[in-house]
Structure 1
Amino acid sequence: MDQLIELLFKQGLRPLSVFPDASALEEQLSSTDLGALMVLQFHGEMTMSDFAGELGAPLSTATSIAKRLQKKDWIARNPSDIDQRSILISLTAEGKRLADKGKATLTTMFERVQEALTPEEIAQFVQLMIKVGKALQQQPSGKPAGSAQKPRSIQIED
């Protein structure tokens, strides 16, 4: 079950947003915040650019999320020892506790799914979830969602 949860988050899906059982947890924090904490739980310490990539968001949005989570003492933001220009983020003890609650909620939900399906159906379910996740991450043009667009030129008059 842990592999399925990790797989969902590595594919960029935020499954808690579709399960009603998660509402109690989301009363404590937003689904965006919980998703960000769970991304950090699965990936460990990350650079801001990697974090933005995992969230499928621009760096400015990921930075705003990280600053908000830092103010709540759910993540720590520190300069990299290797490159002082890079910021590394990681979970604090409280952030880990909340991410663990999110993971436990998902585990409970997937255990219910597992009880309802045969092993063959579970294998199909996982394959279909990956396929759907990839499809949802694609823009109609076939580019990954959140992929950078070509910068446009702006004419400045003298």
Structure 2
Amino acid sequence: MEQLLDLFVKNGLRPLNWMPEARELEQSVNSSELSALVLLDYYEELTMSELAEHLGAPLSTITSLAKRLVRKELIARSQSERDQRIILVRLTSEGKQLALQAKAILESSLERVQSALTADELQQFITLALKVGRALQQDSKEEKVKPAKSLHKIQIED
């Protein structure tokens, strides 16, 4: 079951969006913010670029998300000691508590899945979930990189 949790967290998938139990947590943060908190709990500290990559969102979107989380006192931002241009983010104690609540909901849901399946079915489910996760990630990355359209010359009359 740890494989599934890793799959969701490491690949930026957002299973909490599908779980009604998470709606209570979304009264204080939205689903994207909640996903960021769970990722930060998993990795402890990320650069803004790494967070954007994990969440599959542009850096500008993650910057505004991070500002909201700082205002809510759920994360702290700091400059890297090695390179002042790099901004690091990590959870505050309040953010850690919220992330742990989200993680508990996710683990509980995964335990229900595990108890409903045989060992063979569970292995097949994990294999398929990994495959689907990769396919979904691949599609989103391909959509971001669209080939440039060829330019056509048009005449403009004076």
SS in 2 for 1:138: helix
Equivalent runs, 1:1-158 vs 2, <5 Å: 1-139=1-139, 144=141, 147-148=144-145
Once residues 88 and 151 of structure 1 are traced to their aligned partners in structure 2, the CA distance between those partners, rounded to angstroms, is 33
Partner amino acid, structure 1, of 2:10:
K
Q: Is the 8 A contact 1:8 1:130 kept in 2?
A: no
Distance verdict in 2 for CA 1:149–1:41, change over 3 Å: farther
Contact 2:3 2:126 in 1 (8 A): no
Count of aligned residue pairs for this structure pair: 149
Contact 1:34 1:99 in 2 (8 A): yes
Q: Which of 1 and 2 has greater Rg?
A: 2
Task: Structure 2: give runs of 5+ residues left out of the alignment.
Answer: 150-158
Contact 2:34 2:99 in 1 (8 A): yes
Aligned residues with identical type, % of pairs: 50
Q: What do you get for the CA RMSD once the two structures are aligned? A: 1.9
Alpha-carbon distance between aligned partners in 2 of 1:125 and 1:62, rounded to the nearest angstrom: 31
Quick check: 1:12–1:133 contact (8 Å CA) kept in 2? no
Retained in 2: the 8 A contact 1:74–1:91?
yes
